[in-house]
Structure 1
């Protein structure tokens, strides 16, 4: 995948040097650049997991049942910003925009670390979502400025390395939260960004590639406000009442803004997302299945620590009362199995095809989430089920980009990549809010401001994840086995070149 998946445009004819460097050596500077950018992606990889582990403590501290917004805000801003950042990067330089994203993420981490209210922490966490665009900025920057013979290996190291921290990171996060409080997670992010930013700036050249394109700020504002408004109405409806004026205002306003975005996307020449490509069945089903894969992982990642950290003495039918550090024994197998899932795809994709692997991965996730919903009384069971979720999600993450290449006509692959990326951020932002809306209607007790949910509510939450995984499996099954012809769509696209197929892991 390349930047054209996020920013389509016309090459600048005034820029004559748009070639990949041809040097052959892994110089110390190139190695330093790769290490610093790979570590940045490692930070992105564990960011979602660290907040999920700290979430029970954060929710208890601020006496809120809206903790899911810490993840929703992070993903939503990243989803809306990615296409804009991609176009700005192609116009003004990828390294420059990478530095902007790092700086904004650092400001967000600082705001969250020092915030005095839950709303301020959510705002800071949303701004930290600017880490999301760093993923494609890193590997496209590598493509543009690294010696040509090193590009494939460098991209592979930078992307595949994102799974290496999934096993030790839960233990580090647990130690930080238990010994220094939940704010230590934000401080950790801030310190890492303050170190990695200057390192990348000092070791990485600016990309010479420039494209001319327009920026759809109106579309970004309408899409972001529309989704956020609707989610606020849904998430607070259990407290306000579904017929309360405030609930209806957010629901109606969000729907109206989202409808306005759809209209604008159809009339603007270069919209944030070109919706016409969704008329192609292969495109629509690929986007849906890959987005739901990430959404199921997001729901499970939030529900699992809530379930495991709930004190067993409350007699709710679940809960082991583990600390944040103790929770690592549940999270580490999940992370390790996710990496294994990626290797499974690497070994089997040429034999079985990405469509079959996506079906299998989503079926495994659906089964594991269902088993977790039905039986969550013993630690060994939950650990096994968590590992199964990790295995299924790892297969899904790795199968998604291969699925795009295998099922989508080549002229549509660039644009589909952009839509798929947004789907992989928006759906994980939406589904946890839906799950917690259900949970907030099943509160069993409140202890010192911390809400604990009934066993029935928790079961429904995991079943929501299972249902989403099943829909993803059905969508993958409905994909055509091969593309017979190029869809007759008048869309300005740039097909993928000979770059490696990427298998990034979700946060």
Structure 2
């Protein structure tokens, strides 16, 4: 057995309890990182006053995190394959802690943006964690472990919003970031204590030109998408960035195809199982984020509009919090389906549940319990899909490419959320109703966004149906060592 496929020391009878600790620690790290993403939401409207800066400038506290995460995810994933996934996981958590400390000490705009960018650089924690699970968890438990790790994203986001809103309402806002830093330190110590280093590393030379090219292309694309509404969709800046993104990413693709050790192996990415999974991920990322845009606004708009519920940000967080718990519960259910029928079936079921959830939202949106029901319904679908996506990716790539492949898939979901934010923003800016001299998104505007969210989920279902037929994970013989490339989730039939 090659070094890349050798089981870690201690695998065998002692592996299950050790695996439990590894899964728990990695899931906690994922929750902490997703907490970071929602931490700033309750104070975004107050940032101009808190930082003594225009709202157009304080918006960069959110945009910087988005851009940093997009750049870091594929780069850190590749470095994880090369120098060690555990090592890069620790580096990512250290960046989270550093960024949190900078924000905790910030009283002006520049350090706040720097700190938020450093926090964004930690976004590769979840794909790295999933890749570590592949190398360290027994193959018969990988489906469930992967689903739990994937669900940590939703759990952290769902629990983070009410927690952050409560802290912001009752204490100094800096405590949000001191809390983030403390949780990051705890996660780092637990990783040091319980998470082993993955046994296989590919080594080689890092593709610096490829990483710079991908970073430049992604930054150009995401700036055009995320700031287009502010700058104007037909402005020279927006169009220029869009053209630059196309040119740079095209040149980057040609470079990667010629490189001996590319940052992203585009030939592997072109495999049907990987390609269609990534395309479905974009559609799912779009669909999932649409709910995050619609439900909070419906809850907070004044009751006098006739469709708003006039609730506080804390209430918004409490309404969305059960979704995270549902995702965690559904992760176990999705793992059973994956082991019995294969991850493709799990993904298809999840996409249909998400689409049905949006359809339900169009009919039920006038009471708080309606939105709790809808968020839990959609959360159940997300729990299915989040567990299936990495399973499909890992079932198609070599163990030496797990970090890079999972990170690229995470990036695809992030692109989908960015497109959702831009398109939903345009729709709700165009479909408005007058309320006391202010233009607010209309009820029909929200319903259109919900319908598009349902359509995106159905598109994901259609794309996922093109994934080659999978063999159920349960058909493979279980081993005491770590899961191998096609034993876990599904090899091509």
Shorter-chain TM-score above 0.5: yes
Given that 2:268 and 2:397 are in contact with CA atoms closer than 8 Å, whether structure 1 keeps it comes out as no
| Residue 135 of structure 1 pairs with residue 123 of structure 2 | no
- Number of the residue aligned with 1:40: 29
Deviation at 1:471, TM superposition (A): 1.0
Q: Return the match for 2:264 from 273, 276, 286.
A: 273
Q: Return the match for 1:388 from 362, 377, 381.
A: 377
- Number of the residue aligned with 2:422: 433
Given that 2:146 and 2:387 are in contact with CA atoms closer than 8 Å, whether structure 1 keeps it comes out as no
Given that 1:87 and 1:214 are in contact with CA atoms closer than 8 Å, whether structure 2 keeps it comes out as no
Deviation at 1:115, TM superposition (A): 4.6
Cα distance change of structure 1 residues 72 and 11 upon mapping to structure 2, 3 Å threshold: farther
- Number of the residue aligned with 2:95: 104
Q: Aligned ranges for residues 210-225 of structure 1 at < 5 Å? A: 210-225=201-216
Given that 2:281 and 2:413 are in contact with CA atoms closer than 8 Å, whether structure 1 keeps it comes out as yes
Paired with 1:384 and 1:45, the residues of 2 have a C-alpha distance of 22
Paired with 1:206 and 1:279, the residues of 2 have a C-alpha distance of 29
| Residue 467 of structure 1 pairs with residue 455 of structure 2 | yes
Cα distance change of structure 1 residues 78 and 496 upon mapping to structure 2, 3 Å threshold: farther
Paired with 2:106 and 2:383, the residues of 1 have a C-alpha distance of 34
Deviation at 1:165, TM superposition (A): 6.0
- Number of the residue aligned with 1:260: 251
Report Cα offsets for 1:142-194 as digits up to 9, x if no partner: 77789x99997996797378376677555433321322365543332122223
Paired with 2:29 and 2:337, the residues of 1 have a C-alpha distance of 29
- Number of the residue aligned with 2:149: 159
| Residue 421 of structure 1 pairs with residue 403 of structure 2 | no
Report Cα offsets for 1:16-45 as digits up to 9, x if no partner: x97621276699999988765543232124
Cα distance change of structure 1 residues 345 and 199 upon mapping to structure 2, 3 Å threshold: closer
Report Cα offsets for 1:64-98 as digits up to 9, x if no partner: 48998766654553343234324434544444433
- Higher mean C-alpha deviation, range 162-171 or range 329-338: 162-171
- SS of the residue 2:98 aligns to: helix
After TM superposition, the score normalised by the length of structure 2 is 0.77
Paired with 1:210 and 1:433, the residues of 2 have a C-alpha distance of 39
Q: Return the match for 1:186 from 153, 174, 177.
A: 177
Given that 1:102 and 1:130 are in contact with CA atoms closer than 8 Å, whether structure 2 keeps it comes out as no
Deviation at 1:452, TM superposition (A): 4.8
Cα distance change of structure 1 residues 134 and 465 upon mapping to structure 2, 3 Å threshold: same
Deviation at 1:258, TM superposition (A): 2.2
Paired with 2:401 and 2:200, the residues of 1 have a C-alpha distance of 20
Cα distance change of structure 1 residues 477 and 186 upon mapping to structure 2, 3 Å threshold: same
Paired with 2:331 and 2:136, the residues of 1 have a C-alpha distance of 27
Cα distance change of structure 1 residues 496 and 213 upon mapping to structure 2, 3 Å threshold: farther
- Number of the residue aligned with 2:302: 311
Deviation at 1:393, TM superposition (A): 0.8
- Number of the residue aligned with 1:301: 292
Q: Return the match for 1:244 from 216, 227, 235.
A: 235
Question: Which sections of structure 2, spanning at least 5 residues, go unmatched?
Answer: 472-482
- Number of the residue aligned with 2:477: none
Question: Which sections of structure 1, spanning at least 5 residues, go unmatched?
Answer: 1-9, 484-494, 503-507
Paired with 2:69 and 2:309, the residues of 1 have a C-alpha distance of 34
Report Cα offsets for 1:466-500 as digits up to 9, x if no partner: 222121011122333359xxxxxxxxxxx944876
Q: Aligned ranges for residues 299-378 of structure 1 at < 5 Å? A: 299-313=290-304, 315=305, 317-373=306-362, 375-378=364-367
- Higher mean C-alpha deviation, range 358-367 or range 298-307: 298-307
Q: Aligned ranges for residues 43-192 of structure 1 at < 5 Å? A: 43-52=32-41, 55=44, 64=55, 73-115=64-106, 121-138=112-129, 159=149, 162=152, 169-180=160-171, 183-192=174-183
- Number of the residue aligned with 1:486: none
Given that 1:335 and 1:390 are in contact with CA atoms closer than 8 Å, whether structure 2 keeps it comes out as yes
- Higher mean C-alpha deviation, range 376-385 or range 158-167: 158-167
- SS of the residue 1:127 aligns to: helix
Paired with 2:439 and 2:106, the residues of 1 have a C-alpha distance of 22
- Number of the residue aligned with 2:474: none
Report Cα offsets for 1:235-264 as digits up to 9, x if no partner: 444443333322332222233222222222
Aligned residues: 473
- SS of the residue 1:325 aligns to: helix
| Residue 455 of structure 1 pairs with residue 446 of structure 2 | no
Cα distance change of structure 1 residues 156 and 47 upon mapping to structure 2, 3 Å threshold: same
Paired with 2:444 and 2:59, the residues of 1 have a C-alpha distance of 19
